[in-house]
Amino acid sequence: MKTLRNFAASLSVIFLLNSFLSAQELVNRVVLFDVDKYEIHEVFKQSLDSLCEIISESDYKIHLYGRADSTGNEDSNMLLSRNRVEAVYEYIISKGIDPELVVLDYFGENKPLISDENTIELSANRSVLISVLYVEENDKSTREIWQEYEPDLVIETDKGTVIEIEAGAFFPYKLSDVDFEINEVY
């Protein structure tokens, strides 16, 4: 448990660095879990309590991303990541967070937070990443805000067709996090 706390503290330092988007502020927190478990440890409950207090007076949206490490079979890892996300969801809802403002996603072992190469990286993937987006009043459009955060994606096929995907088109995901394939172009 001490190793888990030390790793959680160092990972929290990385994820607590805020990304400012003119009118929006994104804050990430991570809740780590034991192998094959989805019970939230007390240290993470305290962190969630603090987060819920901070955001309760703000306009916000929350996205929960559940993960499992690459040990075990894929189906049980998918269920485990779902249970982890639901455990965090139920906990923050019990603390007064509006359920309408929370989106749940779980990936099993399919989209690791950190690539599975050693014990520490495996423990990072036994997690729920909590992304909180604070929304503030601003005169800029969402498109203008996202263009400051990430560029539009322009794809040119070998036949000369140009496809432009606007920044923020897959919000709350970044364009670089979206996998897609072009099968036909007319």
User: Please, what is the angle between helix 2-15 and helix 42-55, to 10°?
Assistant: 20
Residue 80: inside a domain: yes
In the chain, the number of structural domains is 2
9/49 same-domain check: yes
147/60 same-domain check: no
101/29 same-domain check: yes
Q: What is the pLDDT of residue 148?
A: 63
* Distance, CA of 124 to CA of 139 (rounded, Å): 38
94/11 same-domain check: yes
126/173 same-domain check: no
The phi, psi pair for 64, rounded to 5°, reads: -105, 130
* Distance, CA of 70 to CA of 117 (rounded, Å): 10
Structure tokens at 164: 């432009």
- 3-class secondary-structure state, position 104: strand
63/93 same-domain check: yes
70/146 same-domain check: no
What's the Cα-to-Cα distance from 111 to each of 20, 66, 125, 145, 153, rounded to whole Å?
Answer: 25, 10, 9, 27, 22
122/34 same-domain check: yes
pTM attached to this predicted model: 0.62
Q: What is the pLDDT of residue 158?
A: 75
Q: What is the pLDDT of residue 13?
A: 33
Q: What is the pLDDT of residue 6?
A: 43
Residue 77: inside a domain: yes
* Other CB atoms within 10 Å distance of the CB of residue 84: 26
- Could you tell me if 102 and 89 are in contact, meaning their C-beta atoms sit under 8 angstroms apart? yes
Residues of the chain with pLDDT under 50: 1-23
* Residue-number span of the structural domain to which 35 is assigned: 2-135
